[in-house]
Amino acid sequence: IKEAQKVDSEIWTIVKNLDEQTKFRLDEDDVLWQGTRLCVPNNATLREALLTEAYSSPFSVHPGSTKMYHDLKPHFWWSGMKRDVATFVS
C-alpha cells in the first residue's frame, strides 16, 4: 500500500494539501491515513485483493454489501469505497 500510494495522483493531491486537510495525516513511514483508516490508493489489484479477502473471510460468511462496507470502513478509506463494495458484492 505504501508503494502504491507513492504513485497515486489522488493520494498526492491530498498529501500536497495536508495543511488544509484536518482528516488526513502522514505517519512516520509517510503512509497516508484518514484518522485511523488506511488510505488505499487507486490500484485495482490492491483494492480487489482487499475486497476479496473481506468477502471470503471465514468470519464474514459472504456478507452483503452493507455489512461488508461497515466491516471495512473502520480500517480502510478510498474515494468511492462504498460504491466499489456494492459493485463487488453484486
Instruction: Output the nine-digit C-alpha cell for 11.
Output: 493520494
Who wins on pLDDT, 75 or 65?
75
Check residue 49 and give its pLDDT.
95
Please return the burial class of 3, using the count of CB atoms within 10 Å of its CB with bins 0-12, 13-18 and 19+.
exposed
Say how many residues make up the chain. Answer: 90
Residue pLDDT, tens place only, 28-47: 999 999 999 999 999 999 99
How far apart, in whole angstroms, are the C-alpha atoms of residue 66 and residue 86? 8
Instruction: Output the nine-digit C-alpha cell for 67.
Output: 455489512
The identity of residue 84, as a single letter, is D
Check residue 6 and give its pLDDT.
93
**φ/ψ of residue 37, rounded to 5:** -100, 130
pTM of the model: 0.84
